[in-house]
Structure 1
Amino acid sequence: MHHQLRTLSKENAEGVAQHLVMVAALLEVDDFSGAEAHAETAVRRAGRVPAAREALGLVAYRKGEWARALSEFRTARRLSGSSHMLPLMVDCERGLGRPERALELAMSPEAKTLTVEERVELAIVISGIRRDLGQLDAARLALEIPQLKATGRKPWTTRLAYAYAETLLAVGREEDARTWFARAADTDTELETDAAERLAELDGVILTDLLEGEEEDDLEDVDHDRGNDRGNDRGNDRDHDRGTDGDR
């Protein structure tokens, strides 16, 4: 990102960088309106900086605004010459209800320039598109890539295992799906997925939120206390009124 900002004045570069940092931080906590405000400001100040257009595209993508996200990603790619956002562009086409165009983009020559992690993300998206089309075996095959059997924890391990488990479940291989949901749950230290819950469902375990009842009890206690306070206030008002009447 920093090398992209060298075309700006020092003051403007520093300001844009701060806005982009805020976009990332706010997306992390799902504050889409705040992230959008910072991204739009970054674009206004540096519209020809790929990172700014990419940031705005990411906000739109997280909001499910597929057309806007795709437009920003295309602009970022045109400005930078990089296709690293291709998996998200394919997913935007999918979101727009254009699976054939999405698959065509996924098979474009640019896909061969992606890093390993980006190729894994693209495989996950392609598998999802195949499932949308009812092509369940093709969806499974799309995920049977070398990275699926990689040892050790990689950046893609959890998401790939989860997607594969979903696909196996869709084709009726429940026991195999359980194995891959377990693998996803074991590596999901950041709670990216609901793999643990899906695993529990397959095992017939009903998960109960132990804090749920306590929260309801706390709310009932608060309401009860407020009711007593209101009752006491009304009682005090009546005593005050009676005292006044007595004085008269």
Structure 2
Amino acid sequence: MAEQRRNQRPSGGKPTGGGRPSSSRGSEGRPDRGGRPERGGRPDRGGRQDSRGDRDARGGQSRDRRQSGPRGAGGGRYVEKEAPRSADQAVYDGPELPEDITGKELDRAVIAQLKGLPEKLAARVARHLAAAGALIDEDPETAYQHTLAARARAPRLAVVREAAGEAAYAAGHYSEALADLRAAKRMNGATAYLPIIADCHRALGQPEQALKLAKSPSVANFESEAKAEMTIVEAGARRDMGQMDAALRTLELAPLQSKNRAPWVVRLRYAYADTLEAAGRTTDALAWFHRTHAIDGDELTDAAERAALLEKTQRD
């Protein structure tokens, strides 16, 4: 739920993850079975090879032609061994799915988008997406692996690519996040991904690309929360380029004085306080950390601790 998880997005300094697979946006992508069995079975493990065959045509199991006795007297027999899973097959399988995850936890809009898949395949993809959503806070890496399993089964669904992108972002895999979110945007034309895409560019050492996205015409039409996210990323990109004054001006044009106590106001104030401290304006930074803490009832930031540390530094 991208719109519900902006609280851990960047504060203007180093990019930090925190996206959750979305349960609200649409997809125009057509289900892709990728050469896999019609009913969502596992990928083909290789098919026949030569006449001796290391694999059979059905399941990819190795056949070891060791004899259990003399030929013609009880005869040779095949001893079947399970072939080791390849890296691609391991990704396709994904992490073990918790028994209490059914897929029904997803938003109805997401479930509706999965209906174009065969029933069993849709159910499996839904369970992986739901598991990713449940794990994104405590174990983003495993959440990401769940989204990869979903993507392996349905790579042409925008909602799946979005989920993979946001989980990759949360786990710190910025190149992968950038690729998947761009793919999702191509599929459904959504611009809501732009702040995360821009921050991925920052994390990859491309602040100029982040600034280009911040100046996109669509940003002017963003709702307050998304606009605040892009402002924070833009200010962070300016900091990355050593343009501290420009970073401060970017944040000062935002509604820092808003009486709204929404998380996006908390994050804007925190980003401003953090940038003031980075610029050496510690007295101003202290005041803004206090102002941040005053509206941060859910403790989304460590503003109180930062203020206490600055106060201690000033006393010493």
Using the size of structure 1 for normalisation, the TM-score is: 0.75
Paired residue for 1:107?
A: 215
Paired residue for 1:156?
A: 264
CA contact (8 A) 1:99 1:129 kept: yes
Percent of residue pairs identical? 44
Q: Distance in 2 between matches of 1:6 and 1:21?
A: 16
Equivalent position SS for 2:312: coil
Paired residue for 1:144?
A: 252
Which deviates further from its counterpart, 85-94 or 112-121? 112-121
Aligned mate of 1:28, from 126, 137, 145: 137
Aligned mate of 1:37, from 145, 157, 171: 145
Paired residue for 2:309?
A: 201
How many angstroms does 1:153 deviate by? 1.0
1:93-104, aligned counterparts within 5 Å?
93-104=201-212
Distance 1:195-1:35 versus aligned 2 partners, 3 A rule: same
Greater RCO, CA 8 A, separation 6+ = 2
CA contact (8 A) 2:228 2:254 kept: no
Deviations 1:52-110 (A, max 9, x none): 11111122212222211100010010111101010111111111111112211221223
Distance 1:155-1:6 versus aligned 2 partners, 3 A rule: farther
Aligned AA for 1:26?
L
Aligned AA for 2:205?
G
How many angstroms does 1:114 deviate by? 2.5
Paired residue for 2:158?
A: 50
Paired residue for 1:131?
A: 239
Distance 1:73-1:176 versus aligned 2 partners, 3 A rule: same
Equivalent position SS for 2:256: helix
Paired residue for 1:234?
A: none
Equivalent position SS for 1:156: helix
Deviations 1:127-146 (A, max 9, x none): 11111111111101111234
Q: Distance in 1 between matches of 2:244 and 2:178?
A: 27
Structure with greater Cα Rg: 1
More helix by share: 1
In structure 1, runs of 5+ residues without a counterpart are: 206-248
CA contact (8 A) 2:199 2:233 kept: yes
Which deviates further from its counterpart, 67-76 or 32-41? 32-41
Q: Does 1:15 align with 2:124?
A: yes
Aligned AA for 2:306?
R
Q: Distance in 2 between matches of 1:33 and 1:63?
A: 5
CA contact (8 A) 1:4 1:50 kept: no
Distance 1:22-1:186 versus aligned 2 partners, 3 A rule: farther
Which deviates further from its counterpart, 13-22 or 156-165? 13-22
Distance 1:9-1:144 versus aligned 2 partners, 3 A rule: farther
Aligned length: 204
Paired residue for 1:178?
A: 286
In structure 2, runs of 5+ residues without a counterpart are: 1-22, 24-108
How many angstroms does 1:10 deviate by? 4.6
Q: Distance in 1 between matches of 2:201 and 2:160?
A: 21
Q: Distance in 2 between matches of 1:91 and 1:151?
A: 27
Q: Distance in 2 between matches of 1:66 and 1:136?
A: 24
Q: Does 1:59 align with 2:167?
A: yes
Paired residue for 2:296?
A: 188
Equivalent position SS for 1:193: coil
How many angstroms does 1:11 deviate by? 4.4
Q: Distance in 2 between matches of 1:22 and 1:71?
A: 22
Aligned mate of 1:82, from 190, 197, 219: 190
Q: Distance in 2 between matches of 1:155 and 1:24?
A: 20
Distance 1:15-1:147 versus aligned 2 partners, 3 A rule: farther
